[in-house]
Amino acid sequence: MTDAAEGSGVRATSRSVRVKLGDRVAASDPGLLRLTAGLRTVAAITLTLAALALLRVGVMLLVAGALSAMAATFAIREKERARQAVTLALGLLVALVSVSLGALLNSRLVAGDVFFVVLIFCAVYGRRFGDRGTALGLIGFQVYFLSLFVGATARTLPGLYGAITIAFVCSAAVRFALVPETPSGTLDRLRRAFRTRLAQLIQAQIALFDAGPQDMEKALEETRRRTAALHETAVMIQGRLEQGTPDETVARLVQRRIADAEIAAERLGLLLLTARGAGRADTLTLHLPGAPVPAGRPLPERDETTDTLRRDLEALRLLVLRPVAQETGTALSHVRNRLLGYREEDNLPPAPPAVQDAFRGIGEAARAVLGLRIALDGPQDESDDTPATTRSREELDAEDAAISGSEKAEREDGEPGGLKRPTTRAAVQVAVGSALAIVGGEFLSSQRWYWAVLTCWIVFINTASTGEILVKGYRRVLGTVLGVVAGIGLAALVGHHTWTAFALVLVCIFAMFYTAPLSYTLMSFFVTAMLGLLYTLLNNYSPSVLLLRIEETVLGAVCGVVAAAVVLPIHTDRRTNELLVTVLTRLGDVTEAAVDQLSGGPAADLLDKARDLDQALADLRASTQPLTHPITPLRARRDTARHVVAMLETCAYHARSLAATAELLPAHPSIAADPRLRRAGRRIVHNIEAISARLTDERSSPVLETGPSIASMLKPGTLGTPRYDRVTDRVLRHLQRLDEAVSGLARPLKVPVGPSEK
The pLDDT tens digits of the residues spanning 336-365 come to 788 888 877 777 778 777 788 888 888 888
709-715: average pLDDT: 61
pLDDT of 10 higher than 90: no
Neighbours of 646 (CB within 10 A): 22
pLDDT of residue 300: 43
- Confirm if 168 and 68 have CB atoms less than 8 A apart: yes
- Between 565 and 71, the more confident residue is 71
CA–chain centroid gap for 34, Å, is 13
Are the C-beta atoms of residues 134 and 126 closer than 8 Å to each other? yes
- Taken as a whole, the chain contains a residue count of 758
- Alpha-carbon torsion, ordered 404, 406, 407, 412, to 10 deg: -110
The Cβ-side half-sphere exposure at 577, using a 13 Å CA radius, reads 15
**pLDDT(44) > 70:** yes
Given a cut of 60, whether residue 719 has pLDDT beyond it is no
Q: What is the DSSP letter of 174?
A: I
59-74 vs 130-149: helix axis angle to the nearest 10?
160
Q: pLDDT value at position 364?
A: 86
More confident residue, 631 or 219: 219
Which residue blocks in 55-129 are alpha helix, DSSP H? 59-74, 81-105, 109-125
The tens digit of pLDDT for each residue in 228-284 reads 888 888 888 877 776 666 667 777 778 888 888 888 888 888 888 878 764 556 666
490 pLDDT tier (thresholds 50, 70, 90)? confident
Task: Name the strand (E) or helix (H) holding 223.
Answer: helix 216-244
pLDDT tens per residue across span 635-661:
667 777 888 888 888 888 888 888 877
Residue pair 705/681 in contact (Cβ under 8 Å)? The answer is no
Largest CA distance in the chain: 91
End-to-end CA distance of the chain: 83
pLDDT at 687 over 60: yes
Going by the DSSP 8-state scheme, the letter that residue 280 receives in this structure is P
Per DSSP, the three-state class of 156 is: coil
Mean pLDDT of the chain: 78
pLDDT at 144 (0 to 100): 93
> Lowest-confidence range among 404-418, 566-580, 626-640, 730-744?
404-418
Per DSSP, what are the bridge partners of residue 705? 754
The helix/strand/coil state of 753 is: strand
Residues 548, 445 contacting (CB under 8 angstroms): yes
Percent of the chain past pLDDT 90, that is, above it, reads 13
Q: Which residue has the higher pLDDT, 731 or 152?
A: 152
* Bigger pLDDT: 213 vs 408: 213
Question: What percent of the chain is modeled with pLDDT above 70?
Answer: 79
Q: 738-756 pLDDT, tens per residue?
A: 888 888 888 887 777 765 5
What was the pLDDT predicted at 135? 92
pLDDT at 140: 94
